[in-house]
Amino acid sequence: MVYKKEFRKSSYIQKRELGSGTYATVYLGICTENNLYVALKKIKINPTEGVPSTALREISALKALNHPNVIQLIEVIHSDVFLTMVFEYVEYDLKEYSNKFGFTQFLLDQLVSGLQYIHSMKIIHRDLKPQNILVGSDGILKIADFGLCRPMHLSVPELSNEVVTLWYRAPELLHGKKYSYEIDIFSIGTIVYEMVTGKVFLQGNDNSSQLTLIYNVIGNRKEFEKKLSEIHEPLFKKVIIGCCCISRESRWSIEDLRNMTYQSKYIISPYDR
């Protein structure tokens, strides 16, 4: 089944800036063909180094992905100065939407569905955090920002450990050990905690302090229970405990997560308002 919106290649009118990062600036745009809003991710091309590897990685991954809970890359426009990636426009990031509307369990179900699809395509996202998960005014969630993703079907001698924003990083990354899909599962647990409480799960300042927090909280049953005491919904507690295991082998699989959210009687859709 094809989930992508229909856009014909055309020109875009650049509007206000939506945000910026190390390599790119994102603008709100309007497609002149149909007057629909788009997001224009403009990357300045270094005349010596060319297009950043993160952009090439993101383009390659998104051309292969097609799912209602994965951001749609409409087209790529290349000039001598800029590489512009044209995305469907999604109004909120996960934190903004959750703070304004709630519906956390419905969002969790979509997040897990999108990640299960990404993993089924042999891709690790490697940078899951609330800012990289978008939600439209219709309540539909989109996993975005694939600049650090890694296709696992490629033969890579060693995977980088400099991935995932610190507070959402699994312990095996902090230790510099080998890792796989389980790092995304750990990130899901930290995101669920933040969605429900409005607070970052464990807020270290560097790898060392983050590891210390992980062992002092997750590795200590009383401290972990205390940390989760303000979460009253059993589903959320189960998900956090299942995802945030120190040992990657003990973590839930994406199938475990999907079964838990799918079977839950508590999924709330914005259409139930």
pLDDT of residue 188: 98
Contact (Cβ atoms closer than 8 angstroms) between residue 204 and residue 166: yes
Residues 83 and 129 in one domain: no
pLDDT of residue 218: 97
pLDDT of residue 2: 46
Tell whether 1 is covered by a domain: no
Domain hosting residue 132, numbered range = 92-265
pLDDT of residue 141: 98
pLDDT of residue 80: 84
Residues 80 and 27 in one domain: yes
Q: Which residues of the chain have pLDDT under 70?
A: 1-10, 103, 154-164, 263-273
Cα three-residue angle 266-267-271, rounded to 5 degrees: 125
Residues 43 and 113 in one domain: no
For residue 89, which of 24, 150, 21, 15 has the smallest C-alpha distance? Answer: 15
Phi, psi (degrees; rounded to nearest 5) at 136: -80, 170
Which element (helix H / strand E) includes 241? helix 234-243
User: What's the start-to-end Cα distance of the chain, in Å?
Assistant: 28
Residues 78 and 97 in one domain: no
Pick the catalytic residue: 80, 93, 109, 127?
Answer: 127
pLDDT of residue 155: 53
Residues 54 and 97 in one domain: no
Residues 113 and 226 in one domain: yes
For residue 189, which of 134, 128, 131, 140 has the smallest C-alpha distance? Answer: 128
41 is in an annotated binding site: yes
CATH number of the domain where residue 28 is located: 3.30.200.20
Residues 68 and 110 in one domain: no
Tell whether 68 is covered by a domain: yes
The reply to whether 127 belongs to the active site is: yes
CATH number of the domain where residue 131 is located: 1.10.510.10
Q: How many other C-beta atoms lie within 10 A of the C-beta of residue 23?
A: 17
